[in-house]
Chains A and B, each alone.
Chain A
């Protein structure tokens, strides 16, 4: 009769260990992503913006005739063997 209860407590322990490991994993991931976002990406972003980069074309263009972006002649066909 003791075997099922051992197995039961083993399952509970395994579940607890799983949750703990997942929580640690989440914390490590949060830390790593925070360091990258605020330590690397943000300073780079600020520098690029100070240098006038506007890749998303966020600024309005009252003097522009159009907001269409012409596709360069070389890129008017796509290479389907590539993921990019």
Chain B
């Protein structure tokens, strides 16, 4: 039985195909349209998924949409009822959109299905999950657990912004929810906006900025903005927020409360912005820890599954894991709305149709999240040659050795191998790699390759078997969703003068043996690399270790600021020629920048809207 899951029309559209409970393919629409967080109907992602299974839409038994549009519309109306006469501008914009098309999503989806597969009664084959049920299903069913507590947290779905559920076998029972407008995701987004970053994409910048600041506003936030109960449940004081009635999420009263104006995106980052980031991060961690502790105590279950946009907060995830209230924590790598497509398909298969889970879900059911398109070597060589690339091809051992040597020589390497990742993180299939030992690599990659703010840390990809030698962590983190410190013996203490440095200047101080991936608080966002799930990436890091003694590489997504991660060999070549990546390795093709025609260089800066 095949089920196609869809998420669309709000943020980061995606499609996923599940066959007999196994995830066959999944991809975000943005990767094909090259439009970051594209929220359009995911026709390219659908075409890819069907092509991967070698079927047309008529080969699909059910299509499952990731939320319930009419419940969402009801919530909108209730919101205006709670605030009218305030909020007309927002009401007008929402109604234009809803009465124009969103209200008729079922009809639209049926019409699109009919075009692709006429002759089917799509009315009975189209299913609608709930937003948080989709997240919960995406977190539990691919997890390695038979039984688990499932906690989902995001901005908002229909009504729920947070949900707690129990997963047992092929069943999920939703226990309780926190409803709109009380939302941890929207709270974090309001601060993201106030600090001058873009909502729905800048949240991870706030998380990256937090270690630079002091959490001196925590008590003020707890006293005025969010009321948190002992069990972690919360309500937001809507006097501080604009999202119910206006179009901006950060209320003007934030400026009064924190005695600082909202930062415009082009303004310099100051100490107070770092303190605000540190404060909202600390509040978020406090709420998440209270939630997980109370759920652990209440249920007695020792496994935890997380999903929803807040579950991408890997600093909080790391603290939940170290807190020890759960023995094992599994986070869906596509924790945001894109992953809802996968969750909707799995919910349909197991919950609606009552089908059992696959007998083996080890290490998990996500195949390393390598669920996107792949290209064979002949096709890669042909497509790159057509793009004007000058390349050499090598056998597997040689390509690994050449790449490892380039990395050891402190060159930035574009690494394009196998199936593209599903979810926001590059995990060694569409990655830019570099030597983490270099004291200048973080700054170089940020400013010359990624064209983004230099305060943001990079993540280490480390061999699973070596992780405990380098980090205060000895488990699996294949999806880069847990943060832990560099081990003490590899840290370098800062001098008194260095400690006095302010903000980003501190970043340039060498703080460990692997400075390019060590944040200023000695933390790192770890990806453990496993021989079973990504043998080629594992072989590359192993070879780098043989050359240098270091089993760690810098791993950042293969894109520049504001660009979706590359999908095809042509995307990779374009990004390579538009940035200062030194070497590009696509399959078994090896490309050096200095050998490429200067006429093919392109100015990539300004091509994409900043994220």
Contacts and interface: CB of A to CB of B under 8 A. Distances in A.
A42 B70 contact: no
Contacts of A83: 68-71, 105-106, 128
A76 B408 CA distance: 55
A71 B176 contact: yes
B91 interface: yes
A37 B71 contact: no
Contact of A55 (B78, B92, B182, B351): B78
A76 B163 CA distance: 11
A69 B160 CA distance: 10
A68 B233 contact: yes
A45 B127 CA distance: 33
Contacts of A71: 174-177
Contacts of A82: 68, 128
Contacts of A29: 96
B352 interface: yes
B129 interface: yes
Contacts of B70: 83-84
A56 B180 contact: yes
Interface string A46-84: 101100001111101100111111110001111011111
Given A56-B181, A57-B235, A66-B233, A48 B176 contact: no
Contacts of B178: 67-69
B80 interface: yes
Contacts of B92: 30, 33, 37
A77 B173 contact: yes
Contacts of A65: 229, 231
A78 B237 CA distance: 30
A78 B171 CA distance: 11
A57 B244 CA distance: 13
Contacts of B244: 56
A42 B235 contact: no
Given A33-B91, A60-B237, A83-B68, A68 B78 contact: no
Interface stretch (B82-90, B272-280, B371-379, B581-589): B82-90
Nearest to A77: B351
Contacts of A14: none
A37 B80 contact: yes
A73 to B, nearest CB: 9
A66 B229 contact: yes
Contact of A56 (B78, B133, B173): B78
Contact of A78 (B84, B133, B164, B182): B133
A61 B235 contact: yes
Interface in B320-376: 347-348, 351-352
Contact of B238 (A34, A37, A58): A58
B310 interface: no
A23 interface: no
B179 interface: yes
A6 to B, nearest CB: 35
Interface in A19-46: 29-30, 33-34, 37-38, 41-42, 44-46
Interface of A: 29-30, 33-34, 37-38, 41-42, 44-46, 48-49, 54-58, 60-61, 64-71, 75-78, 80-84
